[in-house]
Each structure stands twice: as structure tokens, then as C-alpha cells.
Amino acid sequence: MLCINSKQMHSVVSYGEIIDKIEEAFRIQQNGHFSMPDRIHADYKGNTLLLMPCFTPAAMGTKMVSLFPKNVNKGLPRLYGEMILNDAETGEPLALMNGAELTAIRTGAVGGVGVKYTTPADISVLGIIGTGIQGISQAVYTTMIRPIKKIVIFDRDQKSMEQFEKNYSEKFPEIPVKKADSAENLAEISEVIITATNSLTPVLPDVKDLLKGKHIIGIGSYKPDMREFPEALFKLTQTIFIDTELAKKESGDLTVPLQKGWMDEKQVVPLGKLVTGEVNIDHSSQTTLFKSVGMALFDLLTADYIYKKAKQKKIGTEVDL
């Protein structure tokens, strides 16, 4: 089987190709030709292992992600991951790749697809709250999709903001990065705001006037006790787009508003319906909201494509299992 490390994964595909694959995943999700058991959380001593298997007629694989919160104190990544890709016809293992990198790549592209379908074509100021690995990936994909002229960032961790600035500026030296003093300050300036934190309480200001007409994408909360969206947001929009139904059970950004009656389940619409054209919105004049928790189908299509390109370009290390 082919082992493909994070650098190799990046080297074989372009951002645009991954965006295409994520759109394909949204279309497959709508046509129903796949099987994706609810992802499994295995918890032990405060650590979590997520298992995400998925099948389509053309691909099969499983992503494993471990989340060890105390790694941060050891100077290690909180998240490690491995993706095993199998032959859909026989089950034979085809590839092993870095699951943390895959998560960053595909989550960035899911955000990118969110930007493509929920924001006007001419937005130029992007705000990022949470400047970790996911925040950077979101910024890069958004810059690929829209004519971004300025990035505004906010994070409680100054070092993380400096790291973001360094990484982003290496890719896009001509685009200025501004560190906001507060989330209020960031919201005021930004046209689209992407939240990528592990916060337990809202990271956006709970002020209608600051959020009105903005395009909000939340990718951080993946557990019921994690929440990035404030109540004010739900007074500004009739429709909440999601990537997968599981979001309604898994993310505090939806469970809390549903429980508290800030929104009704009928207002929740799959983003896939925008991708297929089944639903249309006029995003130029209204506040939009897209909440992503991710799904194995994104990982599978992305990994399958990376594998095929790596194979074609003879990149990666073949190991005999």
C-alpha cells in the first residue's frame, strides 16, 4: 500500500481540485449513493478517538482521529489522525495517509464551498476567529475562492495569531493581515467571518447590529458542549445551512438554539441543496449562516483523489503489508 505523508498530500493536489471533490461529496450526499455510519466517539480518560468509515460505489475508507487535550501542555498537536483507503471492489488496503492533514485540507475546502455558495462573489474582507491549523486552512481556501483584500484575525492566543500571520503571509504576501483587538472589532470590519475555535461559549459578539448582513461560517464546535454562535445570530437569519444531519445532534451551535427555541428544526437546510441547485438564496442582502461538523464522505472523496494523484505522479512510499 502507498503511504502518503502530509507534505506529499499537499504536493499532489491543488486547492481547486479539493474544492471540486468536496462539491462532488455534497452531490453524492444528496443523491444518496453512499453509506456512512454515524461517526463513533470512543472516550477514555478525557481523550477521544473518532472513527469515520464511509463507502461509495467507487471508494471505501476510514479516518481515525485522536484528540488528546493535554498534548498542548507537552508541546504536541492536540489532534493526530490516520486515513486508511481501501479498494471498494475487494477491501484491499490501498493507502495510508496523514489524517490530521486530511482533516485540515478537507475542512478548509468545506469552508471554501460554504463561502462559494453562501457569500456574494465580490466579498473582500475575511475575518477569522481561532487562528490554529483549521483557521489557516479556512483562510487559504477562502482566499482561493473570493477576491480577498484584507484578513482580520482574532484569537486569545497571541502566539497563534503571529503564527497565522507568518503562515498566511508566506502564501499571500500581498494581502495584509490585521490583528483585531476583540471579536467586536473583527465583526465590525469583516464581510465573511469564519469561526474555528474549540470554545464552550460564543466567540462572536451577541450584538445584532454587529452581525447583520454578515456571512458566518462555523467549523469549530463538534460536541454539544462546544458553541461559537451567539443568540443574536438566530434573530438575523431564517435559514441555517449545515453539511450533515448529525450537526443537529453533535454541535452546541445547533443543539442549544434548538433546545432554547431560538430556531426551529425546519429552518435547518443541507448546504448540499445549494450545491445541487435545489435551493437558492439571495446572499447579497442577508445574513447567512453555515455550520459544518464535517463528515466521512468529505474525507473519503478527498483521500481517494489524493491517492489517485499520488499514484499517477509516483509520489509516496510503497510498503508491503
Q: Give the interface with its own copies as residue ranges (CB under 8 A).
A: 3, 5-6, 35, 37, 40, 42-45, 47, 49, 51, 53, 55, 57, 60, 62, 64, 66-68, 71, 74, 76, 79-80, 82, 84, 86, 89-93, 96-98, 317, 319-321
**From the CB of 170, what's the least distance to its own copies, in Å?**
22
d(CA 274, CA 20): 15
Distances 240 to 80, 137, 191 between C-alpha atoms, Å: 30, 23, 18
Whole-number minimum distance, CB 42 to its own copies, in Å? 5
How distant is the alpha carbon of residue 89 from its chain centre? Answer: 29
Distance CA 216, CA 201 (A): 16
Shortest CB 3 distance to its own copies, Å: 4
Quick one: 91 or 261, whose CB is closer to its own copies? 91
CB of 180 to its own copies, least distance (A): 32
Kindly state the smallest distance separating residue 56's Cβ from its own copies, in Å.
9
Return the number of the residue (92 or 206) whose C-beta is nearest its own copies: 92
Pick between residue 65 and residue 136 the one whose CB is nearest to its own copies. Answer: 65
Nearer to its own copies, 105 or 148 (CB): 105
Give the amino acid at 217: I
Phi, psi for 320 (deg, rounded to 5): -95, 125
Three-state DSSP state, 303: helix
Question: Nearer Cβ to its own copies, position 64 or 258?
Answer: 64
224 φ/ψ angles, rounded to the nearest 5 degrees:
-60, -25
Amino acid at 219: I
Give the span between the Cα atoms of 34 and 218, in whole angstroms. 25
Indicate the residue among 53 and 112 with the shorter CB distance to its own copies: 53
Q: Which helix (H) or strand (E) holds 142?
A: helix 133-145
Nearest CB to its own copies, comparing residues 55 and 117: 55
Nearest distance from residue 131's CB to its own copies, in Å?
23
Closest distance of CB 1 from its own copies, Å: 8
Pairing of the two strands 317-318 and 79-86: unpaired
Strand 150-154 and strand 79-86: pairing? unpaired
Rounded Cα distance between 148 and 136, Å, is: 14
Residue 161 CB neighbour total at 10 angstroms:
19
Candidates 218, 274, 273, 276; CA nearest to 247 is 218
